[in-house]
Structures are given as C-alpha cells and as structure tokens.
Amino acid sequence: MKQRLLLLTACAGSFLLGAFITNDDPMKPLTAEMVDVASKVFGLEFTPAERDSMLGNLNNARTNYEALRKIDLPNDVAPALYFNPLPAGFTMPAGPSSFKASPAGKVSLPKNQDELAFFTVGQLGELIRTKQITSVELTQFFLNRLKTYDPKLHCVITLTEELAMSQAKRADAELKAGKYRGPLHGIPYGAKDLLAKKGYKTTWGAMPYKDQTLDLDATVVKRLEEAGAVLCGKMTLGALAMGDVWFGGMTRNPWSTTAGSSGSSAGSASSVSAGLLPFAIGTETLGSIVSPSTVCGTTGLRPTFGRVSRHGAMALSWSMDKIGPITRSVEDCALVFNAIYGPDGHDPTVMAAPFRYTPLTTLKGTRIGYVKKAFESNYPNRANDSLTLQTLRNLGAELVPFDLPTGVPAGRISFLLTVEAAASFDELTRSGRDDLMVRQGKNAWPNSFRSARFVPAVEYIQANRARTKLINEMAGQLKAAKIDVYVSPAYAGGNLTITNLTGHPCVVLPNGFTKQNLPTSITFMGQLFEEGKVLAVAKAYQDATEWHKKHPSLQ
C-alpha cells in the first residue's frame, strides 16, 4: 500500500500525533525530533525528556497500527461506540403510531398526461387506487422522462428499467387481485446511489467504486418495495456524498441547467424538481437534503438521527448520517417516511418510537418558535423568510422568539464528520486510489481525509463530549421556550450545523424565488422523534402558499 502518513498514538489513547514518513523505510524508528515536529501540529509542547520518554510507547503503537490495517474493515462495519442524540432526562414518545393523510378529494386523469409529471405522490396514488392509470403506464411515463431529460440534467447513474417494469407489473396484478399495499402502491421513485440494490451497481458516485455491486438490498429500498413502490433509478450524488460532482459530471439544477443542483443528494432533488420522478430518497450528514432541496425547489424531510435504518447505505459519518425523502409536498414526505421509519435489527442506532401524523386544519393558537437573531441578521434570503413569518402570523400562529444554544461553537466540533469519513475511507487514502476521485482541490474529500489523520484522538473525544453539552443545551432552550416546532432560515444563524450535530428533524420547503428566478427555502424544526408535529405545521404553511406548485420549464 502507498504509505503517505503515520499516526502516532500514545498508549491508552492519551494523545494522537501525526508525522510524515518516507516511503523508502516506513518502519524506521521514530525520533524525539519527529515527536517535536508532530506535536507542534496540534499546538502541544513537550520537554526533551518527555519526548524521549514517549518513544517506546509511540513505536509500539505504530506496530499496533500496522496490525490493525491488516484487518478487513469494509464500509459497512460500524464502530462499537454508537451516537445517542437523547439529552439527559429525555422521555421517548410512547404509544401507538397513527397516520391520517389529507382527504384525497377527486383526482382525475388529466387530458394532457404530461401534467402527471408534477402530480404529488398522493394524487398519483389515488389515480392508481381508482384504476384510472396502471402502475405500468405510470412507470413507463416516468422512465421515458428520465431517458429524455437525463442527458441535460445528469441526475441518473443507473436506470433500473427491467426491475421497475417487473415491480410495476406486480403492483398491477396485486391491485387486480384485491391486494392494495397503500398510498405508495405502484408509485415510481428513485434512490440515491449510496443505497444498495441487489443486482445493480452501487457506485457512491465515485470513480474508485463505479463498478461496485453489493449483494443486498438496503433496508429503505426493501421497505419501499414492501409498500409497493417501484424503483426506477439509482440517482446521482456528489462523489462519496459531497457536492454535486460525480464521476459522470455535474448534476444540473432544472431551474438553471448551467448550474449545479447542489448536493450531495443531487440527483434525487434534481429529478423530483424536473418532474422525472414523484419522489426520491436522499441522505443528509451536514445539509445534503436541505441544500439540494433549496436549490431545486423541492420539499425534503431530514428525520431524527436514529429514526431510519442505514443498513445497506454508504457510511460517511456513523454519528451524523440520516436518510429521508425528497418530494413535491410536505404530505408526500409524510407518506414516504411512514413506510421507511423504525428498527430493522441491522442498524443498532435506530430507536423504536411512534410516528403520529394528522394534518392541522388551522395554526390558530399554535406556538411556533423562530430563531430571532438569525431572522434579524443580514443574509440573502431575508426578505422571503420575513414573508414566511408573516404568513404564519396570518394563519394564527403565535410566534415565540427562540435562541439557539451558544455554549458550544458547533462549527468548531463539526470536524467530527471529517474524522469519521476519513475512517470510513481509510483504505482509499492508504492505497492511493483517492487519486481517482474527480475532485482533488483543497476542500475535496481526498485532502480532507488526509488532513483528518492529524486530528488527535483526545480532541475527537473532547469534541464528542462538547457535543453532549450542545445536545443538553439545545434541549434546555426548547424546554424554556415551551415549543415543539420552530422555524429557521435554511442557512443563516448556524441552525443547520447545530441540528445535524444534535440529530433534530427538519422539514425544508420552498418559500419564494430570488430575482434570478431561483428557488429559496425555509426550514421547520421539530423535537427529537416528533416528525409528525413538524410535518403538520410545515404542511399548514405550505398549503397557504403556492411555491411548491411552481416547476421549471425544461426545453
């Protein structure tokens, strides 16, 4: 293997040091001078005697590392330490789940069937349930749109046409026989290509893995199949879940096809925005549902950490990865989430908690927090966000000023993500195959992975301890404000970073357009495991607007 760097760790994990070593003799004994140079990387200083005393421990540790690197640790092997987002004294929601969708009303097949491209999941489901259209017809319709517009948008990695038609035929046969699986029965969808599907490539969007196949179905894919949904494609993601650039190019924004669709759930958001699919599955570690949904004008749900199993999904950060739907409407998010949440026996971080969703007929008297400092700051989308607050007031909501916790600077501990990602792709770095990645800049994964090797183990643990403090402070702020839901700018004010670290659920939805006719978004936040409440409030707001009904014109 290509030896690039050496991690030097004191016995019992007292501290971690890193120093470059030469390729000609990687096992050359360490010297006190090497320790002196390495310690300066971390802002530490040791006396000559202390450095000399460390050498035995550090040389022994290096031998341990060499032995450790011979152990096969594929991406799906998680650390023995699991992240727990629950603050001290937290009581898990109890009782049964309940789900009540909005009345379907009368849904008719449009004379111009191209209009089906922008029907919601609920509307399409009603057309199938009432047998106005078959799943085969609907699936072929969306497959044709994917084939037509993917050359412009670059949002598909693998079209799963044979599988889709097989699943659609099964859906139609079951409906004919009187078996109806529910609102996703026969509905086409796409899955971000970090989710495994047996018989198809799972490329993670990255050149080193472009021919990879995994012999399993991700739990999310399996559960959607059990709900009757039809998998039409594996959608693009920025390589190894960063950005919108993958080994096939850059995924485009349907509202401006010269620009990217953001990431990393690039293809999922782009395809739904363009009407190529009714819904798609995305993932978020630090903005990968919020950001592409904002850029593409879609609606997305980032669930509570520990709500949806990540079995069969690429691991980027074991303590931050979350899986959720990207759709056209809030209620579509609820319909999809209702099919995918809950323990599966494979992902030990998933907790059992009920999902209760009932649409609100009014927001009158509802206490909704708003991040006052963020909304009052100077940021690009302030005008549209201010109108969102006014809409909520007009709907009868009581807006309560809310402050995010400030005791822990979230941005200073977000390196937790990069360290875990570097561990996830340790072999990629050590083998030198990271040279195959398309993006090679200072902020791209290859350099981030290498740099993360120099994060001391003690600082990684300390950052996690600070994260515990952040979690408890967040719980205290929510309790003091006496709110279950609050609204925040999608980016301003630090909410995105804080809540990805604390694991809180988020609904992102369009709330207007820029002067350049590009979508903007707002986020509704909820208490841990209370997706039902935040979805209901977000739906009430969305029902009072028309932004989610706008769609790009693809020529």
List residues with catalytic annotation. Answer: 192, 264, 288
Token duo for residue 250: 């850059």
The secondary structure element, H or E, covering residue 221 is helix 219-226
- Please name which of 241, 344, 246 lies closest in space to residue 287, comparing C-alpha atoms: 241
DSSP state of 539: H
Q: Cβ(503)–Cβ(306) under 8 Å?
A: yes
423-454 residues labelled b (16+ CB within 10 A) or e (exposed): bbbbbbbbeebbebbbbeeeebbbebbebbbb
d(CA 170, CA 163): 11
**Long-range pairs, 211-215, Cβ under 8 A, ≥24:** 214/312
**Residues 265, 191 contacting (CB under 8 angstroms):** no
| Distance from C-alpha of 147 to C-alpha of 160, rounded to nearest angstrom | 11
Strand partners, 520: 512
Q: In terms of DSSP bridges, do strands 356-357 and 98-99 run parallel, antiparallel, or are they unpaired?
A: parallel
Residue 366's nearest CA partner among 539, 548, 521 is: 539
> Which residue in this structure is represented by tokens 């909410």?
495
d(CA 18, CA 9): 8
Which residue, among 514, 513, 502, 454, has the nearest Cα to 477 in the 3D structure? 502
Q: Report how far apart, in Å, the C-alpha atoms of 102 and of each of 97, 123, 249, 272, 516 are.
A: 17, 11, 40, 21, 34
Please state, in angstroms and rounded to a whole number, the distance separating the CA atoms of residues 262 and 242. 9
Pairing between strand 16-20 and 156-159? unpaired
For residue 192, list its beta bridge partners: 235
CA torsion, points 430, 453, 51, 63, in degrees to nearest 10?
-40
CA gap 481, 484 in Å, rounded: 9
Give the three-class secondary structure for 317.
coil
Q: Name residue, tokens 């309560």.
A: 400
